[in-house]
Every structure is written in structure tokens, then in C-alpha cells.
Amino acid sequence: MTKGMKAPLLKVRELKKHFPVRKGLFGRVRKVVRAVDGVSFHVNQGETFGLVGESGCGKSTTARCILRAIEPTDGKVWFNLQGSSTEITQLDTEELRQVWRQAQMIFQDPYYSLNPRLTVEEIISEPLQCFQVGTKASRQQKVAETMEVVGLDPNHMSRYPHAFSGGQRQRIGIARALVLNPCLIVADEPVSALDVSIQAQILNLLQDLQDQFMLTYLFISHDLGVVKHICDRVAVMYKGQLVELATAHDLFSDPKHPYVELLLSAVPRPDPNYQMKPIVFARAKKEVSQSADSCLFANRCPYAADICYHQTPMLVNEAKGSEPEHLVACHRSGDLRLEGVSEAE
């Protein structure tokens, strides 16, 4: 369900990140990887916005560019900082620190994202120290409170990360992200490395924290099953571009892009009689490159028509009347009836 409409917390316009690939350290540029290639979306305050797509489609690069952990090649990002819209892409490092205080990240792998040489107290209090918040005693108090909030025993704050299970380590990562009271949390595959039962616990925790602290999430995942349960709106990425963006309900029940239908057909269903749709790949008429004027999905698409090979589809709103925005980049979206996943599944 979409929560009450408020002003966007984050706006991303035509974001691009191109990586030059060189031969040798100082060799000439052999090709350019268009990891993110003109991505636009906004994230409303208090919502969970999902960014999904297969491995290598550019999800993490998008997140890193948004927070300017890496410099985007082009495009603009605005962040609503204390009521006024600030263009992140224009800020110097000192001003950026104010944004980083409000926008924190949770990473995929709780084994690698925590420094094994630091105690849990040191890990969680690091952002407080970095921003020179409070005294040593007040920081320790804040660490204890935050550990309790995420379901960890504060008596264990002097332990090292190896003494915790995977799920507990991810709770430590969440505590570290929460300790500065941010308004935006970018969660990059936060449950992908965890067992299914632990995944559910962490997702429930993230939802509880959202209600408790009025958090906004940019939730990155390749797992549509997870996205369906936690996200209000979802954008699907393919080869550095958005192919569809809609409310989670509309995307799952009424997908309009063949790539999304393909992803949905792989979501496990509880119905033992469900026959998985065979995935038919179109015969590649010609190889589609990222620089070509064509649909990037054309040579994997079972519905590709001639136009798909010589014209790039624009992302357009297919919603009717007062329906919520449903953006899709497909020449054939108007005449295809694609198979989604019903509410019960």
C-alpha cells in the first residue's frame, strides 16, 4: 500500500555513471561500461522505494552515485534537507557531510561490512565520533539504546563481530545506520546473504523501525519476493536503465514490461499446481549493444517486434485517469497482456 503522499525526500534526474575500461593501467580506453544510463525517479518521505533488477544492472552504482560515494558522470540528485531541497550533486565535501548525516547505508554482507578488529560499541559509535556527537559517556548510552532498539543485548557491546550470528551482525549494521537518527536509509541487498527465516526477522525489524522513526528506505534487491513484502513503489532496472516503475501492487499484479514478467515468473509460489511459464527467448535478430538505438531487452524478449531493434523505447506513464503513476519503457506495452502475480501468492 502507498502511504500518505508527502513531498519527495529524494529526487534523481537523468543520473549517469559510465566507467571507462582501459587496457593496462595507463592504456587507452577500450570501451565504456554504462553502469547507470539516464535513471530518473523520486522517493517520497516515509515510503519504501524498491530498486530491483538482475546482478550487474547498476543498482549499487545508482545508490553510490546518489550518496556521492562515487561521482556521477552526469545527472542531478536533490535531497530534502530540513525542509529545503538541496542539490547533492552541487555540494562541496563539508556540505555533503550534512547529507551523509541524514542518509545512511546498510550493506549486503554482514560478514564483510563490519570491521572485525573493532568491538560492537566502536562500530556503532563510529558515525557519532565522526560527526563529533556527544561525550564518550553519552555515545556509549546511545549505543546501548540503539542496540536495544534493533534487538541486541547492550551487555554484548564489548564483543567483536565474530561472536555474533549473521542475523545479529546485520542488526549491528542496522544499529550503525540508525545511530545518527537519519531520515533516509539506503539498504543495498540487506537480507540477500541471510537464511530465509532470518530474512523475515530483519525485514520485520526494518518495517518496525520505519514506523518508529519515520524512516524512508531506498531498498535495493534482486529478489522480487522480498520486494513485494516491503516496498510501496518499485523501479525495475535493466542494463543501467529503468524499464518499469509502479506501485508494488500494480507492478506485481499488472506488469507491463516483458522483462518484469520474466522476473515475476521466477518468484516462488506456494501453489503446488502452478506451472512455471517456460521462458522463451526471442531469436536474436542482431546483438543489441548499450549504445545502439534499440530496446536493450530486445534480443531476450519473446514479444520483440521490428521496431524494438531500431528505436529506443521511452519511459512513459501508462496509468489511466486517477490511477497511480505506472511508467514503462516498451514499444509493445499497449497491446501485451502480461502475466503477474496475484495478491494471494
Ligand X SMILES: Nc1ncnc2c1ncn2[C@@H]1O[C@H](COP(=O)(O)OP(=O)(O)OP(=O)(O)O)[C@@H](O)[C@H]1O
Measured between alpha carbons, how far is 32 from 27 in angstroms, rounded to an integer?
A: 14
| The one among 46, 50, 58, 340 contacting ligand X by CB under 6 A | 58
Question: Does the footprint of ligand X cover residue 61 (CB under 6 A)?
Answer: yes
**Binds 61: which of ligand X, Mg ion, none (CB < 5-8 Å by kind):** ligand X
**Binds 19: which of Mg ion, ligand X, none (CB < 5-8 Å by kind):** ligand X
| The one among 4, 26, 27, 55 contacting ligand X by CB under 6 A | 55
| Angle at the Cα of 293 from the Cα atoms of 72 and 251, rounded to 5 degrees | 70
Question: Which residues on adjacent β-strands are paired with residue 321?
Answer: none
Distances (CA, A) of 269 to 263, 305, 338: 13, 31, 17
Helix (H) or strand (E) holding 229: helix 224-230
Question: Does the footprint of ligand X cover residue 57 (CB under 6 A)?
Answer: yes
Strand ranges of the sheet holding 48-52, from the earlier edge strand across to the other edge:
103-106, 184-188, 216-221, 48-52, 233-238, 241-247, 327-328, 316-317
Neighbours of 132 (CB within 10 A): 6
| The one among 3, 23, 29, 56 contacting ligand X by CB under 6 A | 56
Half-sphere exposure (Cβ direction) of 203: Cα atoms closer than 13 Å: 23
Binding mask 194-233 for ligand X (x = CB under 6 A): ----------------------------x-----------
Nearer to ligand X, 57 or 177 (CB): 57
Question: Which residues on adjacent β-strands are paired with residue 29?
Answer: 22
Residues 110-169 close enough to bind ligand X by CB under 6 A: none
Measured between alpha carbons, how far is 188 from 124 in angstroms, rounded to an integer?
A: 18
Nearer to ligand X, 57 or 149 (CB): 57
Measured between alpha carbons, how far is 50 from 41 in angstroms, rounded to an integer?
A: 11
Q: In the chain, what's the furthest Cα-to-Cα distance?
A: 68
Nearer to ligand X, 73 or 119 (CB): 73
Helices (H) and strands (E) in the chain, counts: 10, 12
| The one among 9, 43, 59, 234 contacting ligand X by CB under 6 A | 59
Question: Does the footprint of Mg ion cover residue 60 (CB under 5 A)?
Answer: yes
Question: Does the footprint of Mg ion cover residue 44 (CB under 5 A)?
Answer: no
CB of 220 to Mg ion, least distance (A): 7
Question: Which residues on adjacent β-strands are paired with residue 20?
Answer: 32
10 Å CB burial of residue 221 (0-12, 13-18, 19+) is buried
**Binds 55: which of ligand X, Mg ion, none (CB < 5-8 Å by kind):** ligand X
Binding mask 13-52 for ligand X (x = CB under 6 A): ------x-------------x-x-----------------
- Binding stretches for Mg ion (CB under 5 A): 60
- Binding stretches for ligand X (CB under 6 A): 19, 33, 35, 53, 55-61, 222
